[in-house]
Amino acid sequence: MYYAFSVQHSRLVECRDCGHMMLHPAPGDAELSQIYDENYWLLDGSDEERRHFSDLKQATARAYLDLIQRCLGRHGGRLLEVGSGGGDLLTAAADLGYDVTGVEYSEYACARARARLGDRGRIIRGDIACLHDENHYDVCVIADVIEHVKDPRDFLERVYKLVRPGGIVIIATPSRQSWSARLMKDKWMEFKTEHLHYFTQETLHSLLFRTGLDPIAALPGRKCLSLEYVTAHFRKYPVKMVSAGLRFLSAILPAGLRKRPFQVVASGIISVSVKVPRTQRPRLSIIVPAYNEAATLEGVLKSLLEKRLDGIDKEVVLVESNSTDGTRDIAMKYRDCPGVKVVLEDRPRGKGCAVRTGLAHATGDYILIQDGDQEYDIEDYDVLLDPLLAGTNAFVLGSRHGGRTWKVRQFKGKPFTGILLNFGHWLFKTAINTLFRLRLDDPFTMYKVFRRDCIAGLSFECNRFDFDYELLIKIVRKGYRPVEIPVNYRSRSFSEGKKVSIARDPWTWVLAILKFRWVDLDVIEGWRTSLTPKTAEDTAPVRPAWAEAPAKSAAGR
């Protein structure tokens, strides 16, 4: 941790590794009690103003409930809100048939919520430690709360105990990656004494993942506001120029415009996660697509099985695509080997298809893609996994071109081929970096290592080498920024088995970049679809290892 800057005489410190920011030292209970008085929720105005602000909060609450319906597929069930305030979400949820429970620190807010809710739910004055209903709630909503708690890890551990297996947790919190945070920097309106922690999507999702709450999606934190509400907020939390400008607008605009509601994403994100079973040790799934790799596959598999990884178990998912050179015979030798899953495809559809098949069979907390050749060094696994196991990053690329080293492709007797491929690498790298605001040296490396939540709710369609582009783009668009770590690399030639087509594949890469830059991901719907059992037709192209059939001659990847 290092000192960043001060806010209202309180010091903010930032972690050098993960970027998490927190207030240090945290204010005491007496100071916090003075902050959370009846004026904290902007409820000290006139009756008309309170009704207007309540209408806005109820509109935001209905948006949360719509999100819950998308996740659960229905309305209804046991709903817990931690930090329930004046009961806006609870009353809206009770109207839809939810069995609601709210926990709130402020006695004033509890009294207001009880008056509105009546006997349709319960309000508990205190904090989450007051609850002991383990595995009870279908959904837990934590809106604008987690930034206030002293120990977010302990807080989420308690949430984990309260939610049933498969239950949904929705967290809304200010994000340091928001446009307002980037614009206002240390003048950001969310820098307040009562905000003890400041998250990014990655720091929040890393924390959730480590507590057994698998992140599904991070969505824009939309709220329903009005100019009158925003002006009141900046009157209570003044920011130079902004507060003055809002007061001026409020003075010259008619009441109808001041009270007109609008949707805005100002500073927050909404994180959706699901409770999953926790294991004693994490697991790494190593996906090995193999087609016509008889010369190298056995050496790769032996190295994988001999490789020892500290603090993590491993499984090898070998996907063999009906090779014509004896690769399937090698794969079948490992079908009864502990820690190895052998999956057979009836015909080769491309490396991307084989990796997609492997992803469908992977059960690990972390996933690594390993080709069946020997271009990359398996001894680099340790350095690639370190940021993931430490929780500082969720997505790692093993860069072949790190620092001052540019490991160019060289082909004996074919200098033009090497020049062409290296120029293509630079061209497509520049396109990716420009379109997605990245600064990567090697976005197309085979060594892509990521947490399973990086691909939760994503569906993939590419079959050839364009899958590398699809995977990278969709994970980045989901909010995960890759970190690059240099690795060892030795390029093989086309005569040694390299399968990329200079004439065919670049066009698929162009199409992948253009398509996946703008296609709607709809991660929530994708996640719900993934829960639906696959039909026989869905799984027809893939056969388990014991359903071996004679290899047929087929076109290569």
Structure confidence at residue 541 (pLDDT): 43
The torsion angle over the Cα atoms of residues 260, 265, 268 and 270, rounded to 10 degrees, is 100
Q: Is residue 96 a contact partner of residue 117, using CB atoms and an 8 Å limit?
A: no
Name the pLDDT band for 394 (thresholds 50, 70, 90).
very high
Q: What is the pLDDT of residues 163-208, one digit of tens each?
A: 999 999 999 999 999 999 999 888 888 998 889 999 999 999 999 9
* Segments making up each domain of the chain, as ranges: 2-222+267-275, 227-260, 283-547
CA 167, 170, 176: angle at the middle one, nearest 5? 145
- In single-letter form, the type of residue at position 543 comes to R
Structure confidence at residue 444 (pLDDT): 86
Q: Is CATH 3.40.50.150 the right assignment for the domain spanning 2-222+267-275?
A: yes
Span 283-547 CATH architecture: Alpha-Beta Complex (3.90)
Q: What is the pLDDT of residues 450-489, one digit of tens each?
A: 999 999 999 999 998 899 999 999 999 999 999 999 998 8
Q: What is the pLDDT of residues 227-247, one digit of tens each?
A: 998 998 888 778 878 889 999
Higher-pLDDT residue of 104 and 39 is 104
Listed range (83-92, 284-293, 526-535) with the worst mean pLDDT: 526-535
387: number of Cβ within 10 Å = 18
Whole-number Cα distances in Å, 385 to 77, 109, 111: 39, 46, 50
Total-model pTM = 0.88
